[in-house]
Amino acid sequence: MKFYSTSSKNIQVSFEEAVWQGMAADGGLFVPETIDQLPENFWRNFFQKSFHQISFEVASHFLKGALPDDDLKKIIYQALVFDAPLVKVESTIFALELFHGPTLAFKDFGARFLAAVLGYQTARKQEEITILVATSGDTGSAVAHGFFNLPGIQVVVLYPSGKVSESQEKQFTTLGGNVTALEVEGTFDDCQRLVKQAFGDGEIKRKRILTSANSINIARLLPQMFYYFRAFQQLPQGTSQPVVISVPSGNFGNLTAGLWAKKMGLPVDRFVAATNINDVVPEYLRTQIFKSIDSKTTISNAMDVGDPSNFTRMMALYSRDHAALTKDVSGYKFTDEETVKAIREVYRAFNYIMDPHGAVGYLGLKKYLTSSNFSSIGIFLETAHPAKFKETVEKSIATSIQLPEPLLKLMSKEKKTICIKNDFMELKEYLLNSD
Ligand SMILES: *Cc1c(COP(=O)(O)O)cnc(C)c1O
């Protein structure tokens, strides 16, 4: 099975190479050559299979032998150590809770799977690698936890001093071990620039093998297919109505994984691309014109993306056919006011607490269901634990919420960082002189 670059079909690499490179040399993203329907026997006993078993069968079919079965199984068992429960919110509306991992957001699925794949590759190659990642908060914590204590892997997280929330900061500055946090006197963009410079520096490259754990890596996307299947397993027995899934979106990785799952035969009637006011994709669906924007700040800040990276993968999947895409996907955008109102109303009416991202997904689902003539079952993805956005959520529902156990434990731990100036030489010195 080959993976090709969305910028040029001539660039074709193996799965392992695609994971190693992250992004194709021409700036495109790797996508599979073909995605085939799962065989009949996948669906036989579907409801009796474990989450691990389903995930293994989906991954194995998707990768078509790129990894030996036994190794793939080990990777899945190592990565998937928490479930994705489907929780009833209203009579025909369910939340797929993706926040039961160590950093309480769905990015744990991708980060842990990527870590397991890279760990497997470095063990076989007998190499040491350094994961270098810039973060504005969530990516750093998911990556740091995913790679924590893996042999042969060093993790270096750069983050802007004073610009991430305390609970986010604790998630990647208290681990120790193979995780080092560099606290940069600068902005997130500065951190990203420093990382880019390091990747281009010959001297650093001679000393270390640098890899990125970027969200565009195919190994972060692949495991995001698993939980769409897991959602169907948990629908009430005998469900016969069409199923609509709403995905709160920023870089559109989650939605792309869902569309891949549909292509493999998951019977999703329609997807909803739900965004905050950074609505590049809903605008494309409406007008056929893709126009990136400067991102605007909102309360669902993990979706403040003005130039969504995975859009190119969606285009590749639908061969740039707008009509075909709009047959499967509807798009809506929502303001912060609407989001707050939804959090409040769903709490009051159904006693369910949504985070701002899940709330955008919920709104998208409602909007589609109201506009369609069918009676459907609706699922929205709840991508983060509400306590990660404590302030916004508490204000919305006028009630205080508890920090979950893993976050509480972290808050009492001491932060350990190395402070550096916004100066490439300081980063370089660190990378050359530490082991
Ligand atoms: C990253 C993130 C999103 C957006 O997911 P994409 O795959 O980038 O569309 C949504 N919600 C939360 C909580 C996130 O962290």
pLDDT at 127: 86
* Residue 107 is a catalytic residue: yes
The CA 101 to ligand 1 mean position distance, Å, reads: 15
What single-letter DSSP state applies at residue 354? P
**Ligand 1 pocket member 356 (CB < 6 A):** no
Residue among 79, 409, 98, 410 nearest 258 (CA): 98
108, 139 in Cβ contact below 8 A?
Answer: no
Q: Provide the residue type at 108 as one letter.
A: D
Nearest CA to ligand 1 atom 8: 251
Given a cut of 80, whether residue 257 has pLDDT beyond it is: yes
Given a cut of 80, whether residue 187 has pLDDT beyond it is: yes
Round to whole Å and give the CA distance between 1 and 365: 35
pLDDT at 266: 98
Query: Across residues 232-261, what is the average pLDDT?
Result: 95
pLDDT at 27: 85
Average confidence score pLDDT of the chain: 94
- The CB density around residue 305, as the number of other CB atoms within 10 Å, is 22
pLDDT at 164: 86
Round to whole Å and give the CA distance between 366 and 379: 10
3-state secondary structure of 83: coil
The CA 161 to ligand 1 mean position distance, Å, reads: 23
Span 56-92, pLDDT tens digits: 999 999 999 999 999 999 999 999 999 999 999 999 9
Span 306-332, pLDDT tens digits: 999 999 999 999 999 999 999 999 999
3-state secondary structure of 134: strand
Query: Across residues 3-10, what is the average pLDDT?
Result: 92
373: confidence class by pLDDT, cuts 50, 70, 90: confident
Given a cut of 80, whether residue 122 has pLDDT beyond it is: yes
Ramachandran angles phi, psi of 376, nearest 5° = -115, 165
> What are the tokens at 312?
């190119």
Atom of ligand 1 nearest to the CA of 384: 13
Reported as type and span, the H/E element at residue 197 is: helix 188-199
118, 209 in Cβ contact below 8 A?
Answer: no
**Ligand 1 pocket member 105 (CB < 6 A):** yes
149: confidence class by pLDDT, cuts 50, 70, 90: very high
166: confidence class by pLDDT, cuts 50, 70, 90: confident
pLDDT at 26: 87
Domain spans of the chain?
83-103+221-397
Given a cut of 90, whether residue 188 has pLDDT beyond it is: no
Q: Which contacts (CB < 8 Å, 24+ apart) does range 230-234 have?
A: 230/51, 230/54, 230/83, 230/84, 230/86, 230/96, 231/84, 231/86, 231/94, 231/96, 231/379, 232/46, 232/266, 232/267, 233/46, 233/47, 233/49, 233/54, 234/85, 234/86
Query: Across residues 412-430, what is the average pLDDT?
Result: 96
> Angle at Cα 28 formed by Cα 214 and Cα 123, nearest 5°?
45
pLDDT at 167: 83
Span 223-245, pLDDT tens digits: 999 999 999 999 998 889 999 99
273: confidence class by pLDDT, cuts 50, 70, 90: very high
What single-letter DSSP state applies at residue 388? G
Model-level pTM?
A: 0.94
Q: Does domain 83-103+221-397 have CATH number 3.40.50.1100?
A: yes
> Highest-confidence range of 39-43, 188-192, 297-301, by mean pLDDT?
39-43
The CA 411 to ligand 1 mean position distance, Å, reads: 24
Span 100-114, pLDDT tens digits: 999 999 999 999 999
Given a cut of 90, whether residue 408 has pLDDT beyond it is: no
pLDDT at 165: 82
136: confidence class by pLDDT, cuts 50, 70, 90: confident
- Count each helix (H run) and each strand (E run) in the chain, helices first: 20, 14
Q: Which contacts (CB < 8 Å, 24+ apart) does range 336-342 have?
A: 336/276, 336/277, 336/298, 336/299, 336/300, 338/363, 339/276, 339/298, 339/299, 339/300, 339/363, 340/299, 340/392, 340/395, 340/396
Query: Across residues 152-161, what is the average pLDDT?
Result: 94
Given a cut of 80, whether residue 137 has pLDDT beyond it is: no
The CA 301 to ligand 1 mean position distance, Å, reads: 9
pLDDT at 365: 98
**Ligand 1 pocket member 161 (CB < 6 A):** no
Span 15-24, pLDDT tens digits: 999 998 888 8
**Ligand 1 pocket member 248 (CB < 6 A):** yes
Given a cut of 90, whether residue 189 has pLDDT beyond it is: no
**Ligand 1 pocket member 107 (CB < 6 A):** yes
Residue among 324, 388, 350 nearest 98 (CA): 388
Pick 214 or 425 by higher pLDDT. Answer: 425
- Residues of the chain with pLDDT > 90, as a percent, come to 81
Round to whole Å and give the CA distance between 357 and 383: 7
Given a cut of 80, whether residue 206 has pLDDT beyond it is: yes
435: confidence class by pLDDT, cuts 50, 70, 90: confident
Query: Which pairing describes strands 377-382 and 93-97: parallel, antiparallel, or unpaired?
Result: parallel
415, 175 in Cβ contact below 8 A?
Answer: no
